[in-house]
Amino acid sequence: MKHESIEINSALLIILTLLVISIGGLVEIVPLFHIKGTVEKVDGIHPYTPLEQLGRDVYVREGCYLCHSQMIRPFRDEQLRYGHYSLAAESQYDHPFQWGSKRTGPDLARVGGKYSNEWMTQHLIHPQSLVPESIMPSYPWLMQPLKFGDIEARMRALRDVGVPYSINQAEYDANVKKFGKALADQFVIANGVASVKEEAASQNWDGNPKEITQMDALVAYLQVLGTMVDFSKYNQGYFSTFR
Amino acid sequence: MSQSPENKKGQVETTGHVWDGDLREYNNPLPRWWLWGFYGTIIFAIVYWILYPAWPYADTYTKGVATVSFQTPVLDKEGQPVKAADGTVEMHTKTEHWNSRALFYQEMQTSPSALAQQEWLAKVKDMSFEQIAANPDTLNFANSMGHALFGDHCAACHGTGGQGVLSMNPEASYPNLTDNAWIHGGDYTKIVQDMTNGIQGNMPAFGALFKGEKLTDLAQYVLSLSHQPGVNEEAANRGKASFATCAGCHGANGTGNQMIGAPNLTDKIWDFVDVTGAPTIEGKLKLVEGVIDHGLQHQMPKFSDRLTPEQIRLLAVYVRQLGGT
């Protein structure tokens, strides 16, 4: 093909330009799906329970990621402030992931268990009542009821992209083996609505036991963040063997 | 004297492309600085490929020849760290291809700031709390470390200066650490214990036991313990009998019990409801009645998973100084 025919045919020029540029991206991304050790071998990571997943959807809906990242980098100052650096394995069931590089507020990758449920609730309703110098906006509407009728559809959609929520006995059995019975029961898509109700009632998330609120779901999600891996089980240096 | 294109015609080679019949493009050589810069980037890339992880192939990638060394525990056949007789973990040097995680371990062990911190940690390791607080240098270290840790782990509830949050809603209040009242005790060992294991504060609801006038009388008596202005002495005397129920935790004369975290009711310090801030006696009564009626549940998370014992010790030195006796 003569160079001139590319230069005078804009459609052809666009297609060939895209092709050349995408090679750069593909060379960087595609091998990660084939390289062993991209996702570390580590115990404890499991998909979100239906209530946590709904909380995650609230998190994304409210745009929390615009100010809060969920990725602790492997630097000393990050470790001292936030805890162990984030693993790829810890975001394997995140669709979409919440890594981010914009930290107007602190990183939330390991916020689970750091504050009490009461604090979380009060802080989300009116941050300045607890932290006067905070610039975080208030989210009082989170105390409104949670719509969870569509949880099963949400779980099916996540299953389509690889999250192991189960639709049949074989998948359920595999989950029992991998995550234990208690969690596997919550990952049954057909039980989605019942699981949400059960988990919402299992503890006092937002101080309002009378109804299932969006706050219940969001607090449940925040309290599980970064808590799945027991890092005391792994020796210093173990995770660098995957890099 | 600039040359017009016409003058140059025939002297400089053109690319041979012709637009609109007479527009041509000169084929001038690239500036030398640019050309060498370009070659430089190619050489840089080749050096980079040799030194660092670069090219993927099959299920792995070229690791490069650059290495990073750091200390890691010696493992036995089961993959468990080998411990010496005195309990210290045996370490050896591990060398890996260059990667950010190995660099991180190296930074944690040998960066100047890490070494400086280790030096001070070693200094205070075998010192008692009192010794750390008595020596200006170690106290300075404990304070700077404690201040940073406090800002990150404690300030969200207890305030940046440890002043706590006191509101009309007991659920949204967090104890002040700078006053004289230690709800759960202000000994170093007790502070360490509470930070390590967390606290489950629980006052039961007495709404079923005390209602209406009985509840108000009891609240009057509670307020009389700290000599609040405007208390109705007569009502307070009536409420005294009911206080027997409260005495189990708060003590017969209301001075509290740090062992179970029952606050002293005879001082003028309020940790969960802002009685002082209520302008009228009716407002004060309402706050106290509310607590008696609904009880009070407060929990402080445990920090054993987030902070090392050494960090908690230094934080305790810092926190102890915030409060009074």
Is residue B2 predicted with pLDDT exceeding 50? no
Nearest C-alpha of chain B: how many angstroms from A161? 22
B203-299: CATH topology is Cytochrome Bc1 Complex; Chain D, domain 2 (1.10.760)
- B252 vs B237: CA distance, rounded Å: 14
What does the block give as tokens for A57? 């959807």
Q: Do domains B125-198+301-322 and B203-299 have the same CATH topology?
A: yes
In whole angstroms, what is the distance from residue A84 CA to residue A194 CA?
35
The better pLDDT of the pair B185, B324 is held by: B185
The per-residue pLDDT for B134 is 94
Residue A243 and residue B102: Cβ atoms within 8 Å?
Answer: yes
CB distance B247 to B266 below 8 Å: no
Mean pLDDT value of segment B273-279: 91
Stated as kind and residue range, the H or E segment containing B67 is: strand B67-73
- Cα dist from A194 to A54, A180, A191, whole Å: 13, 19, 5
Q: Say if CB B192 and CB B290 are below 8 A apart.
A: no
Mean pLDDT calculated for residue range A90-94: 95
- Residue A162 is encoded by which pair of tokens? 């690889």
Locate the domains of chain B by residue range: 1-65, 68-110, 125-198+301-322, 203-299
**Distance separating alpha carbons of residues B148 and B145, to the nearest angstrom:** 5
Please tell me whether the peptide bond between B136 and the residue prior to it is cis, using omega within 30 degrees of 0.
Answer: no
**Mean pLDDT, residues B104-124:** 94
Q: Rounded CA gap, B312 and B317, in Å?
A: 9
pLDDT the model gives residue B6:
52
Higher per-residue pLDDT: B6 or B139: B139
Residues from chain A that touch B305, judged by Cβ atoms under 8 A, are 113
Residue A35 forms contact with B (CB below 8 Å) = yes
Which residues have a Cβ under 8 Å from the Cβ of B261 and sit 6 or more positions away?
Answer: B183, B184, B199, B201
* Alpha-carbon distances, residue A42 vs A82, A83, A94, A159 (angstroms): 20, 17, 16, 21
Indicate the residue type of A166: S
**Least confident interval from B4-13, B115-124, B210-219, B276-285:** B4-13
The tens digit of pLDDT for each residue in B51-74 reads 999 888 888 899 999 999 999 988
The Cα–Cα gap between A148 and A32 comes to: 35
Q: Which residue of B has its CA nearest to A3?
A: B17
In chain A, what are the helix, strand and coil shares in percent, each to the nearest 5?
Answer: 55, 0, 45
Q: Which residues pair with A109 in a beta bridge?
A: none
pLDDT in tens, A223-241: 999 999 999 888 888 898 8
Chain B residues touching A128 at Cβ < 8 A:
none
CA distance A189 to A154: 9
Residue A220 is inside which H or E element, if any?
Answer: helix A214-224
Instruction: Check CB contact under 8 Å for A113 and B174.
Output: no
Query: Which chain A residues touch B160 with a CB distance below 8 Å?
Result: 133
Angle at alpha carbon of residue B283, lines to B280 and B287, rounded to 5°: 145
pLDDT, one tens digit per residue, over B82-95 is 888 888 888 999 99
**For residue A36, what are the CA distances in angstroms to A44, A99, B58?**
19, 22, 10
Contact B104 A235 (CB under 8 A): no
The pTM assigned to this predicted structure is: 0.87
Residue B160's SS3 state is coil
User: And the tokens for A150?
Assistant: 């569509």
Residue-averaged pLDDT of chain A: 94
Give CA–CA dist B152/A81, Å, rounded.
Answer: 7
Q: Does A233 touch chain B (CB under 8 A)?
A: no
Mean pLDDT of chain B: 91
pLDDT at A237: 84
The answer to whether the Cβ–Cβ distance between B299 and A116 falls below 8 Å is yes
Q: Fill in the DSSP letter of residue A213.
A: B
Check CB contact under 8 Å for A240 and B99: yes
Find all residues with CB under 8 Å of A170, minimum gap 6, and list them.
none
**pLDDT level of residue A186 (50, 70, 90 thresholds):** very high
Task: Give me the residue from B159, B160, B301 closest to A115, CB to CB.
Answer: B301
**The pLDDT of residue A167 is above 50:** yes
Mean pLDDT for the stretch of residues A72-101: 94
Percentage above 70 pLDDT, chain B = 97
Residue B20 carries which side chain, given as an amino acid letter? D
CB–CB contacts below 8 A, A to B: 98
DSSP state of B135: S
User: What is the DSSP code string of B6-35?
Assistant: HHHTTTS-EEEEEETTTEEEE-PPPPHHHH
Tell me the per-residue pLDDT of A122-149, one tens digit each, with 9 for 90 and over. Answer: 999 999 999 999 999 999 999 999 999 9
What angle is formed at CA B96 by the lines to CA B94 and CA B98, rounded to 5 degrees? 140
Could you give the angle at the alpha carbon of A224 between the alpha carbons of A239 and A202, nearest 5°? 145
Nearest CA in chain B to A122: B172
Q: What is the DSSP letter of B64?
A: -
Catalogue the E-assigned strands of B98-145: none
Closest Cα in chain B to A30:
B56
CB contact under 8 A, A76 and B72: no
Q: Which long-range contacts (CB under 8 A, 24 or more apart) does B114-120 make?
A: B114/A76, B117/B145
C-alpha of A19 from chain center: 32
| Beta strand ranges found along B119-251 (DSSP E) | 199-203
Q: A39 is written with which tokens?
A: 């996702």
Give residue for tokens 């030195």.
B317
Residue type, A237: G
- In terms of CATH, what superfamily is B125-198+301-322? Cytochrome c-like domain (1.10.760.10)
Tell me the mean pLDDT in the region A83-96. Answer: 95
- SS3 at position B2: coil
Q: Does A81 touch chain B (CB under 8 A)?
A: yes
pLDDT at A62 over 50: yes
The distance of B300 to chain A (nearest Cα, Å) reads 7
Query: How many residues comprise chain B?
Result: 325
**What is the percentage of chain B residues whose pLDDT exceeds 90?**
74
Tell me what the mean pLDDT of segment B18-47 comes to.
93
What average pLDDT does range A154-164 have in this prediction?
A: 96
Say how far apart CA A154 and CA A50 lie, in whole Å: 9
- pLDDT surpasses 90 at B115: yes
For an interface test with B, the pick among A2, A77, A110, A116 (most B C-beta atoms closer than 10 Å) comes out as A116
Rounded Cα distance between B136 and A108, Å, is: 36
Q: Tokens 């709404």 — which residue? A: B207
The CATH number that domain A50-227 falls under is: 1.10.760.10
Predicted pLDDT at B325: 65
Looking at mean pLDDT, say which of A235-239, B10-14, B76-80, B210-214 comes out highest: B210-214
The reported pLDDT for the residue numbered A226 is 95
Give the helix/strand (H/E) hosting B96: strand B91-97
For residue B106, the surrounding DSSP H or E stretch is: helix B100-110
Question: What is the pLDDT confidence band of residue A207, given thresholds at 50, 70 and 90?
Answer: confident
The residue among B58, B60, B63 whose CA lies nearest residue B99 is B63
